[in-house]
Amino acid sequence: MKPRIRRSNIDRRALLKTLAVLPTLSGTLLTASAEAETAPPGGVLPSWNNGPAKQAIVDFVRATTDQASPKFVPPEERIATFDQDGTLWVEHPLYSQMIYCLDRVPVLAAEKPALKHVEPFKTVLSGNREAMAKFTMPDLEKIIVTTLTGMTTDEFDAEVKKWLATAKDPHWKRPYTELTYQPMLEVMNYLRANGYKTFIVTGFGQDFVRVYSQKVYDIPSEQVIGSALNTKYGYAKDGKPILIKEPKLMLNDNNAGKPEGIHLMIGRRPYAAFGNSTGDRQMLEYTKAGDGTRLSMIVLHDDAQREYAYGPAQGLPDTKVGTFTQALYDEAKKDDWTVISMKNDWKRIFAFE
Amino acid sequence: MKPRIRRSNIDRRALLKTLAVLPTLSGTLLTASAEAETAPPGGVLPSWNNGPAKQAIVDFVRATTDQASPKFVPPEERIATFDQDGTLWVEHPLYSQMIYCLDRVPVLAAEKPALKHVEPFKTVLSGNREAMAKFTMPDLEKIIVTTLTGMTTDEFDAEVKKWLATAKDPHWKRPYTELTYQPMLEVMNYLRANGYKTFIVTGFGQDFVRVYSQKVYDIPSEQVIGSALNTKYGYAKDGKPILIKEPKLMLNDNNAGKPEGIHLMIGRRPYAAFGNSTGDRQMLEYTKAGDGTRLSMIVLHDDAQREYAYGPAQGLPDTKVGTFTQALYDEAKKDDWTVISMKNDWKRIFAFE
C-alpha cells in the first residue's frame, strides 16, 4: 500500500523524541467518561482566574449577543472554532491519535502476519524505541496510512471506541478523554449558552475525533472538522452499501488548511477561534480579520507543575509538539489575539483535580 | 486557465437541449424572498394529499421520535438530507447554477475583453443558441470553471446575491428562489420541529447554495453539502487574509459522491433522505440500509400541468435533467423507498399559487 499523503505537518522530530520516552504503547482497564459539564451555579467560567483572558471572553460574548450592541451578531452567524490537541486536551508527550496508530500495529500484524517482516512495522513490534526514534517521515506516514485505512467507516469507529475504552495516558494514568481542560469546556458551554455553535477544527483525523466528540465535548460529529482521508462508496458481500477509508488525503486541516477546511465545512468566518500552535495561525488570523468584534485566543503551555511547559515563547523549550514560536507570539501581540497562560489564567486544569 | 474537473454528472445533452430553447439568459427586477414557512395551524404537511407518501413521512417521524418506540432515535442522531434541484425546487429547463454561469459570461467579458475572442465564450456572447447547442463537455466545464473561480469567496457571495436579486426563471417569470416546492418546505419544517437536523446535499456547488439557504430553506451554510472547488488561503494587498476559489474540484457531490460527501461533512448516516434522480441513488441506498427505521423518498416529476413531467418511468420522456430511470424506479420499489408523485401527492406545489 503506497501512501499518497502529499502534505503533512506531523512533526517528525517531535514524534521521534516522544517515541524514545514513551513508557508503553498504551494502558488498559479504565473507561472513558469525561463529559462536558453544564453551566455552573457560581457564575460563568468558574475555573478561570480573573484577568485579561477571562475578561476578553466575557466582553466578546456581551458585545456580540446584546441586541443593543453595535457589534451584535445574529444567532445564525455565531460560529466558534477550537483546535483540539493542546487547546482542548493534553497533546504531550504525543498526540493521542498517533498513539492510537502505534497501538494498532500489533492488532493489524495479528490479522496480517506479513506485516511482521516489513518495516517500519517490524520495528514498532520490536518495542525498540531507539530504533523507532530513527523513523523517517515516510515511515511514520506508512504507519498512519496503514492503520487508518482499508476498513469500512463503521469498522474504524468500532476500533477507536474499543481503544478509547482501555488506552491510558502514561503520565496521568487516565483515559485520554479525561485529559480535557476544564476551563476550555467551560468556554464552549458558555459560548453555546449564548447562541454560538461550537466546532472543533483539528489537524488530526476528523473521523477519530468524531467518535468521542459528542460525549467528551458535547459537539456532534458534523461540527468536527479535521484532516480527512477519502472514502469510497461500495457494497459489502451481502449487498449493503459501505464506505471504505482510502489511503488518499482529501483535506489536510493544518495551517492554511484550517481556514480552507472551515470554508469547506462551515462556509463562513468564525467570530471566535482558539488555538495553541503555529498550525492554528491562519485560523486565528482569518477569524480576527473579520468585520465587527472577533476573538482569537491562543493557549500558552507554561505550567510545568500542573501540565507541561513548552514552546520557545518566554524562553520555554521548543519540543516541536504544539509549536508556539516567538514569531507566533509576536503576531498574537500585534494582531490583538489574547494569550491564555495556563499557569496564570486557569484556576483548575482538569475536571478530576 | 486549464480546468481540472475530473468527473462530472452535468449532462451535456440536457444542457444543449435547454440552451436551444431558453428565451433569454436571465430576467431582471424581482427580488428573491421565498421563505420557509413555520408549522401551520391546519395540522402537519397541509400541502400534501393524504396517501402513502404523506403517511410514510408521518409514520417515520412517529417511529423515530416516540421514546416508547423500539425504533426511537436519540435527538443528536436525527439527520435528514435533501437533494436540491428537482427535489426542493424546479430544475427545468436548466439547473439554476448553470444559468448563473452563462449569465456571468458577459459580465466577465466586460472585465476581461480578451474572453470575447475565445471559445466557448465568444459563442455564449453571440447568443447563437444553435451554436451553443453544439458545446462539448469541455466547453461547458470551461464556462463553469471560468465563471466560478479566480475570485475571493466574499466576492463570489456578493456576485451570487446580486444575480439572485434580479434573475428570473423564463417560464414562471419569478426569481429562482421562489420556485421551491411548498410540500418539501413543510417536510423540512416538520422534521426540524421533531428534532431533526436538515441538510441539503446537492450535486451543484455548495458555495452557490449557501448564499441563499438560510433565507430560502432555513438551513445554515454549515448544513449545505455540495460539489466544492478548492479554496486557497492567502493575503490581499492590504494584508487581510482571503480565500481564493481555485479551478480544482475537491468534492463531486453526485452519485457515490453523495454518501462520501455526507461522511466527510456530517460523519454519520442520515435517517431520512430525499432525492429525485439517479444522482441521488447512492444517498438513498446508503440511508435506507442503516439500522432501525429509515426513510428514503424520491420525487417523480409527473405533473405536466402544474410543473413538468419527465423521466422514463411510467413512459414519461427522458429529458436528461434529473434523470429518473426505470432502473431507479425498480430499485425504489425493491428497496422500499417511497415514490412521491407530484401530481397525486401534492395539493399545492408553490407557495405563490
In one letter, which amino acid is B251?
L
Query: Which uninterrupted H or E stretch holds A204?
Result: strand A197-205
Look at residue B322 in the predicted model and tell me its pLDDT: 61
**Spatial distance between the Cα atoms of A226 and A262, rounded to a whole number of angstroms:** 9
Q: pLDDT confidence of B49, banded at 50, 70, 90? A: very high
Element (H, E) at B141: helix B137-148
Please state whether the peptide bond connecting residue B74 to the residue before it is cis, i.e. omega within 30 degrees of 0. Answer: no
**Quick check: B316 pLDDT over 70?**
no
Inter-chain CB proximity B264 and A240 less than 8 Å: no
CB contact under 8 A, B267 and A228: no
* CA separation for the pair B347, B182 (Å, rounded): 10
Cα–Cα distance list, A53 to A30, A45, B99 (Å): 34, 11, 50
Residues of A within 8 A of B266 (CB-CB) are 221-222
HSE of B103, CA atoms in CB hemisphere, 13 A = 23
Identify the CA nearest to B269 among candidates B76, B82, B79. B79
Q: Which residues of B touch A (CB under 8 A)?
A: 76, 79, 153, 197, 206-207, 210, 214, 220-224, 228, 230-233, 240-241, 243, 250-251, 256-257, 259-260, 263-268, 282, 285-286, 289
Which residues from chain A sit within 8 angstroms of residue B221, using beta carbons? 266-268
Rounded distance, CA A77 to CA A80, Å? 10
What pTM, to 2 d.p., does this model score? 0.88
Could you tell me which residue, B342 or B35, shows the higher pLDDT?
B342
Q: How far is B54 from chain A (nearest CA, A)?
A: 27
ipTM comes to: 0.88
CA distance B16 to chain A (A): 31
CB-based contacts of B68: which residues, under 8 Å, 6+ apart?
none
Q: Is residue B148 within 8 Å of residue B160, measured between CB atoms?
A: no
The Cα of B72 is separated from the nearest Cα of chain A by a number of Å equal to 18
Q: Which of A243, A282, A337 to mutate to test the interface with B (most CBs of B within 10 A)?
A: A243
For residues B127-155, average pLDDT: 88
For the sheet with A197-205, list strands across it. Answer: A241-251, A224-235, A197-205, A79-82, A272-275, A295-300, A338-341
Q: For residue B87, which amino acid is it?
A: T
Q: Which residue has the higher pLDDT, A337 or B14?
A: A337
Q: What is the pLDDT of residues B51-66, one digit of tens each?
A: 999 999 999 999 999 9
Q: Which three cell numbers stand for residue A51?
A: 484577568
- C-alpha to C-alpha distance for A40 and A50, rounded to whole angstroms: 16
How large is the average pLDDT for residues B165-171?
A: 94
Task: List pLDDT tens digits, range B225-252.
Answer: 999 999 999 999 999 999 999 999 999 9
Pick from B175, B201, B189: which is nearest to B277 by CA?
B201
Query: Could you list the pLDDT tens digit for every one of the 353 residues in chain A?
Result: 443 444 344 455 545 544 544 444 343 323 333 333 344 455 899 999 999 999 999 999 999 999 999 999 999 999 999 999 999 999 988 888 989 999 999 999 999 999 999 999 999 999 887 888 788 878 888 999 999 999 999 999 999 999 999 999 999 999 999 999 999 999 999 999 999 999 999 999 999 999 999 999 999 999 999 999 999 999 999 999 999 999 999 999 999 999 999 999 999 999 999 999 999 999 999 999 999 999 999 999 999 999 998 876 556 655 555 678 888 888 999 999 999 999 999 999 999 98
Record: contact A260-B243, CB cut-off 8 A: yes
Interatomic CA distance for residues A353 and A344, integer angstroms: 17
User: Which residues, at least 6 apart from B37, have a Cβ–Cβ distance to it below 8 Å?
Assistant: B182, B185, B186, B189, B351
Could B267 and A240 be called an inter-chain contact, meaning their C-beta atoms sit closer than 8 Å?
no
B221, A268: Cβ pair inside 8 Å? yes
Chain B partners within 8 Å of A214 (Cβ) = 76
Residues of B in contact with A206 (CB under 8 A): 267
**Cβ partners under 8 Å of residue B209, min gap 6:** B84, B200, B202, B224, B226
* Neighbour tally for A236: CB within 10 Å: 11
Query: What residues contact A187, with CB distance under 8 A and at least 6 apart?
Result: A45, A57, A274
pLDDT at site B320:
56
